[in-house]
Structure 1
Amino acid sequence: MDQPIEPKNIERYANNLNDYDDSNVVRRAVTHNGILKTAADFEANPKMDPVFSIDVSDQRVSDQKRSGRCWLFAALNTMRTKVENDFNVPKDFELSQAYIFFWDKFEKSNYFLNNVINTAEQPLDSRKVSFLMATPQQDGGQWDMLCALIEKYGIVPKSAMPETANSENSSELNAALNTQLRHDAVILRKMINDGQKAEIINAKRDDMINEIYRMLVYSLGKPVEKFNFEYRDQEKEYHIDENITPKAFFQKYINLDLEDYVSLINSPTEDKPYNKTYTVEMLGNVVGGRPIKHFNLPIEELKKLTIKQLEAGETVWFGSDVVKDTDRKQGIMDTRLYHVDELMHTDMSLTKAQRLDYGESVMDHAMVITGVDIVNGKPTKWKVENSWGDKVGTKGYFVMSDDWFNEFVYQVVINKKFLSEKEKEEQQQAPKILAPWDPMGTLA
Structure 2
Amino acid sequence: MALPSTPLTEQDVELLRKEFDARPVNRLLQNAVTTSPITKVALDRSIVTTTDRSMSHRLDKWTATSQEKSGRCWMFAGLNLLRAGVMDNLGVKDFELSQNYPFFWDKLERCNYFLESMVQLADRPADDRTLAWLLQDVMGDGGQWNMFAAIVGKYGVVPKSVMPETESSSNSAAMNKNLRSLLRQAARDIRAAKDDAEVQETRARVMAAAYRILAIHLGTPPAKFDWQWTDDTGEFHRDGGMTPAEFRDRYVTIDVDDYVCLVDDPRPSSPRGRTFTVDRLGNVVDGAPVRYLNVPAETLRTLAAEAITSGEPVWFGCDVGQMMERDLGIWDAALYDFDGVYDTTFALDKAERLQLHETLMTHAMLLTGVDLDGGTPRKWRVENSWGDDKADKGFYTMNDSWFGEYVFEIAAPRDRLPADLQAALEAEPIVLPAWDPMGSLA
Partner of 2:24: 21
1:74 equivalenced with 2:77 (yes/no): yes
Partner of 1:209: 207
Counterpart of 2:165 in structure 1: which amino acid? Answer: E
Residues of 1 paired with 2:89 and 2:241: CA distance? 21
Counterpart of 2:100 in structure 1: which amino acid? Answer: A
| 1:273-300, Cα deviation, whole Å (9 max, x unpaired) | 1100000101100000111001000000
Partner of 2:258: 260
How big is the shift at 1:87? 2.6
Residues of 2 paired with 1:400 and 1:424: CA distance? 29
**Equivalences for 1:78-227 in 2 at 5 Å?**
78-91=81-94, 93-191=95-193, 196-227=194-225
Runs of 4+ in 1 over 4 A off after TM superposition: none
Q: Sequence identity of aligned pairs in percent?
A: 39
Counterpart of 2:8 in structure 1: which amino acid? Answer: I
Partner of 1:52: 55
Partner of 2:12: 9
How big is the shift at 1:86? 2.9
TM-score where L is the length of structure 1: 0.97
Residues of 2 paired with 1:290 and 1:199: CA distance? 28
Q: 8 Å contact 1:133–1:182 — kept in the other structure? A: yes
Partner of 2:39: 36
How big is the shift at 1:19? 4.5
Q: 8 Å contact 2:186–2:202 — kept in the other structure? A: no
Counterpart of 1:89 in structure 2: which amino acid? Answer: V
- Select which of 295, 299, 302 maps to 2:300: 302
TM-score where L is the length of structure 2: 0.97
Gap regions ≥5 residues in structure 1? none
Bigger drift between 78-87 and 161-170 goes to 78-87
Gap regions ≥5 residues in structure 2? none
Give 3-state SS (helix, strand or coil) of 2:201's partner: helix
Pairwise CA RMSD? 1.1
Partner of 2:380: 382
Residues of 2 paired with 1:244 and 1:439: CA distance? 41
Residues of 1 paired with 2:43 and 2:49: CA distance? 13
- Select which of 288, 291, 302 maps to 1:290: 288
Counterpart of 2:401 in structure 1: which amino acid? Answer: D
Give 3-state SS (helix, strand or coil) of 1:32's partner: coil
Residues of 2 paired with 1:25 and 1:390: CA distance? 37
Residues of 2 paired with 1:424 and 1:23: CA distance? 55
How big is the shift at 1:49? 1.1
**Equivalences for 1:223-262 in 2 at 5 Å?**
223-262=221-260
1:326 equivalenced with 2:324 (yes/no): yes
Q: 8 Å contact 1:89–1:231 — kept in the other structure? A: no
How big is the shift at 1:424? 0.5
Aligned residues: 439
Q: 8 Å contact 1:261–1:413 — kept in the other structure? A: yes
How big is the shift at 1:201? 1.2
Partner of 1:337: 335
How big is the shift at 1:41? 1.2
- Select which of 298, 313, 316 maps to 2:314: 316
User: Structure 2 vs 1, CA of residues 198 and 286 (structure 1 numbering), >3 Å: closer, same or farther?
Assistant: same
